[in-house]
Chain A
Amino acid sequence: MESFSFIYPAGKEIKQRAHTGVVGSGDLEILLEPRTDNHAEFIVRTSSDGFKEIWKAVFERFISLNDISATFIINDFGATPGVVNLRLAQVLEIANQK
């Protein structure tokens, strides 16, 4: 297991928290919590060691497209970057639901 986090400046506020996914084989869970200090922070625990740079690339792309001020807590059980992207999009969609 490996733990790391990344933080980026971010502009847009988001109203509500959201949760998606499970810590199951090839999957991950994401907890999104709004924050008001104009930063996006990704706190990751992953079962697959050695992919920190790939996570970084995924987050940087996500934040360049979605300028969200929030904390993303990620518990990963070997999800591929494609699945990570999908779950990030999902959690954002849930957070934006009325």
Chain B
Amino acid sequence: MHTSFIELKGRERALALLDKNSFNELLGPFDRMESPHLAPQGIVPESDDGVVIARGTFSGTDAVVLSIEGAFQGGGIGEVCGTKLAASLEHILTDNKNGKKVIPIIIFDTGGVRLQEANYGLLLISEIQSAIVALRDYVPVIGLIPGNVGSFGGMSITAALCSNLIMTDVARFGLNGPEVIEQEAGIKEFNSRDRRLIWDTIGGTARYETGLVDQLVSDDISAFKNAVQFAIDSERPVPRTHQVEKYLSAVNQLDPNVKASREDIVRFMNNPSKEVPEIEDAKTPSRGRTWFAALTDSSASLSDFPGVLVADKEFNGQATRFIAVVPNAKNRYRRAVNGEVGLQEGWVLAKYIQQVIQEDANKEVKRNIVAVIDVPSQAYGYNEELMGIHYACAASADAYATARLRGHKVTGLIVGNAISGAFLAHGLQSSRLIALDDKDINVQAMSKQSAARITKRTIAELEEATKKVPAMAYDIHNYYSLGALDLLIKIGNADSPTVADVALVSKELAKAIKDGDFTLGQRLKTQPAITQGRVSSIKVRTKLAEQWH
């Protein structure tokens, strides 16, 4: 008999996958771990915050289903539900490290960051990504995108990290939602009312044909179960996010001035080319460029792409690779001329981070990595979505996380904006984050205009909400109160720093690197985290740990 999987709610989906009578929910509705950030904004919370963590067996193998409820707030990731996901994945990792094989199965039905808890969403998504990258060394991390909401935003970057992705033809899987692309880039770039266009670009069939998901299944419970079984049984392939050369070749072959087709993408993928197009370097000024030069004594970039600066330098007595994404008015991809993280930026970042990992693989002392962060957003565009910009962002996030796992200290220095998918790709995988104390710095998940449109509020209403919920705010001081930063550095002028400014920032950066570890755990240990910013995260983690053992 044919039984729909899509029509099931999040909890029922977990029940349907796990063996009969094996379902055991952790932090279920009666634990009342709801979001404390919604009611102050006049939004009714849900008792499980929209994520079901179900432990059980799948065909006799220990498994945990992490199911996102798309019907609640579009499956958006906030502090509580994000912590449920991240902390569960970390427990699964520990179990596997201790020799107990447990398979994680994540059901993506999510718009990405829950805009009402914006900066929490980004933080938690980076923590989820970090856990997935670590887990992939032990077991396949299986992702399902059945459909209804589909998978978008930062959670698509997360899905892109899975070992095996299973999708239906009615689901959508992309970085930027059609409405947001239209809002940011105009209706000529993407008409959000053109449903045919949407499914031809980000629908399941398109994703399967262009090789961005592993299995395309019909909407049937047993089809999903067979696909999961296949994913468990099959040999784990090299993650797409590690196939930098192949994807970079496709990105280089694509003509950004023409709207590509699926067939084009397939052709690029099947015919790898070593040719790198000539890109003029306008050296467009930016904070990222200024600070990269200041910290590297104006070293020449060793990158072959002008939008990503890379330099190796002895910093505070240690070999250090500095990396920055910078604007280039002459960039090939027109949707990424302002320093956005686009297709090329994401894959090039991955290339130069993976390079450090490989070159230092057998060395006792690993190079430190410093991300100089000034990224206004990810790139919004049709070609970007078709080609899978979420994979480009994931490749970079994966590389930073892998670097940490292989013993590199990764530190982020926020000198300018740190927005959304771009921040996930470049910065949020740092074990230490420090920032300039500057009023022009924005840290957020989406521009105010888009956030207002998507949450159906006016900009005035949105600004009102930011007063009640610090995670909604855009300024660096509110961000500091979440606990993610180790330090705010007060200097004279962030745009044109003096010698003394650079000396001060260098000193603090050296200290941050020295204290760095190889996890993202520090964010839960800072004073602002403990007293205010991550109180709910810590509560969820404590309670989950009790129930896990």
Contacts and interface: CB of A to CB of B under 8 A. Distances in A.
A24 interface: yes
A69 interface: no
B99 interface: no
A23 B44 contact: yes
A66 B152 CA distance: 44
Given A47-B43, A73-B47, A19 B69 contact: no
Contact of B72 (A17, A23, A33): A23
Nearest to B43: A1
Contacts of A45: 39, 44-45
A41 interface: no
B9 interface: yes
A58 B50 CA distance: 27
Nearest to A76: B44
Contact of B46 (A1, A46, A75): A75
A22 interface: yes
Contact of B45 (A27, A31, A46, A75): A75
Interface in B441-459: none
Interface in B14-64: 28-30, 39, 42-47, 50
A19 B30 CA distance: 8
Contacts of B28: 19
Interface residues of A, number: 18
B72 A19 contact: no
Contacts of B10: 22
A82 B29 CA distance: 23
A29 B43 contact: no
Contacts of A22: 9-10, 46, 69, 71-72
B71 A24 contact: yes
A1 B72 contact: no
B504 to A, nearest CB: 46
Nearest to B72: A23
Interface in A3-27: 17, 19, 22-25, 27
Contacts of B43: 1, 47
A29 B46 CA distance: 8
B323 to A, nearest CB: 42
Contacts of B39: 1, 45
Given A19-B29, A22-B10, A45-B39, A27 B71 contact: yes
Contacts of B50: 23
Contacts of B69: 22, 24
Interface in A35-89: 45-47, 73, 75-77
Contact of A33 (B30, B44, B45, B71): B30
B107 to A, nearest CB: 14
Given A1-B39, A45-B39, A23 B46 contact: yes
B47 A47 contact: no
Contact of A25 (B9, B29, B71): B71
A21 to B, nearest CB: 8
Q: Closest 4 interchain pairs by CB?
A: A24-B71, A23-B46, A1-B42, A19-B29
Interface of B: 9-10, 28-30, 39, 42-47, 50, 69, 71-73
28 contacts: A1-B39, A1-B43, A19-B30, A22-B9, A22-B10, A22-B46, A22-B69, A22-B71, A22-B72, A23-B44, A23-B45, A23-B46, A23-B50, A23-B71, A23-B72, A24-B71, A24-B72, A27-B71, A29-B47, A31-B29, A31-B47, A45-B44, A45-B45, A75-B44, A75-B45, A75-B46, A75-B47, A77-B44
Given A19-B28, A22-B69, 20 more contacts: A1-B43, A1-B44, A19-B29, A19-B30, A22-B71, A22-B72, A24-B69, A24-B71, A27-B71, A29-B29, A29-B46, A45-B44, A45-B45, A46-B44, A47-B44, A73-B47, A75-B44, A75-B45, A75-B46, A76-B44
